[in-house]
Amino acid sequence: MDDLTDLGIRDTAESWPVVSSAELARGAMVRLRKDMVRMPGGEVVGRDVLEHPGAVAVLALDAAERVLMIRQYRHPVGRLLWEIPAGLRDIAGEPLRATAERELLEEAGYRAAEWRVLTDSFSSPGISTERIRIFLARGLAWVPESERSYVPEHEEAHLELSWVPLEQAAARIFAGDLHNGVTALGILSAYAARKDGFAALREPDAPER
């Protein structure tokens, strides 16, 4: 296989000039602003930007190569979605692996002994700054509810958990039965990465590029 790095297939940082910026709305976790951006050639156009703190997600895989999935109500789309555990980067300075460990325990009740990075992505770069790191977690151990300090509430109080063979999870994506984008990326990344025993995956504390 060709080395894609040699072909220049790598995202790079870039910033076109912002002539002005104005806040349009602010929520509990996000802020919407409009930037007036100068295009190459001089034209200035408006671009809406949703500022988002970012998130992590966890593709938890057991010894039988089954994916740990949770079913959660998502109000904006009016659906109950099967997803992998995920959560916001809402604690300043918290390492991403620690955030992932916390979400896996809070949403699914598991700890993992082995961690790797599956992928880093922008969920909707045309409008949002949200950046997501998806981890692969293995060596799973169930934590009894009596040993957990977190009490789920709201949507998380009604989660349903299931173990799905990795091949079946991938097939459900192709069939159009699973719609969460982060979940699809995590499942398909794991499906591809296991061909070499996940040897190509980065260490859990690898920097985001």
Quick: pLDDT tens for 83-131. Answer: 999 999 999 999 999 999 999 999 999 999 999 999 999 999 999 999 9
Q: Is residue 32 part of a domain?
A: yes
Same-domain status, 62 and 30: no
* Total domain count, the chain: 2
Residue 1 binned pLDDT confidence (cut-offs 50, 70, 90) = very low
Angstrom distances, CA of residue 155 to CA of 8, 90, 129: 43, 18, 24
Say what the pLDDT of residue 164 is: 98
Q: What percent of the chain clears pLDDT 90, i.e. is strictly above it?
A: 90
What does the pLDDT average to over 182-186? Answer: 98
* Bridge partner residues of 119 (DSSP): 134
Same-domain status, 45 and 118: no
Same-domain status, 59 and 46: no
Q: What is the pTM (predicted TM-score) of this model?
A: 0.93
Q: Tell me the H-state helices in the chain.
A: 96-108, 166-174, 181-193
Q: Which residues belong to the active site?
A: 156
Q: What percent of the chain clears pLDDT 70, i.e. is strictly above it?
A: 97
Same-domain status, 28 and 60: no
Q: What is the C-alpha separation between 11 and 37, in angstroms, rounded?
A: 20
Same-domain status, 170 and 101: yes
Q: Is residue 123 part of a domain?
A: yes
Same-domain status, 134 and 33: no
Same-domain status, 33 and 99: no
DSSP letter for 123, please. S
Say what the pLDDT of residue 2 is: 52
Same-domain status, 126 and 157: yes
Do 104 and 58 contact (CB within 8 A), yes or no? Answer: yes
Same-domain status, 32 and 111: no
Same-domain status, 47 and 101: no
Residue 5 binned pLDDT confidence (cut-offs 50, 70, 90) = low
Q: What is the C-alpha separation between 78 and 55, in angstroms, rounded?
A: 21
Q: Is residue 11 part of a domain?
A: no
* Domain encompassing residue 28: 18-51
Q: How many Cα atoms are found within 13 Å in the side-chain-facing hemisphere of 111?
A: 8
Do 204 and 116 contact (CB within 8 A), yes or no? Answer: yes
Q: Is residue 70 part of a domain?
A: yes
Domain C-terminal end among 7, 33, 51: 51
Q: Is residue 1 part of a domain?
A: no
